[in-house]
Amino acid sequence: MKNFIGCLILLVLFSMCKKEDDVKGLFVTEMSFVYIDGTEILANDCIDSADGYAISIEVDSDNNSFNELNVKYMVNGVSYTMRFDKTGKKLQAIQLQKGNNFAKIVKYDFTDYVNFKQQGEFVLVN
């Protein structure tokens, strides 16, 4: 009987411990190419090469825990890191190239692309 109670106490104590996978907090909810003011770039938008552009990454929290989250992402093959310590959206200014522009968050399944085609003196977004 003492062994049973001892095992039961140990079982309860171990079940109360958090596993590393159970630790929750900030996570990525969205990533996209945007204008420098945060406005989404839409298909068939006319853009000016003098305008500014950015990558927008948004994070949220599942339990109001605001652990630090370093989001590693790539834009056109170049690696970057964006640091979050609370929920919200952040922008990182980027230089778009002619043709295809591709962005991917390394750890998460978020990708986005924009294809810029030069047409005379203006550019169309596909």
Q: What values do phi and psi take at 17, rounded to 5?
A: -75, 145
Tell me the domains of the chain and their CATH numbers: 24-125 (2.60.40)
In one-letter notation, the amino acid at residue 8 is: L
pLDDT per residue over 3-19, tens digit each? 555 445 544 455 554 44
Kindly report the number of other CB atoms within 10 A of residue 28's CB atom. 19
For the entire predicted model, the pTM comes to 0.72
pLDDT per residue over 69-116, tens digit each? 999 999 999 999 999 999 999 999 998 888 889 999 998 889 998 887
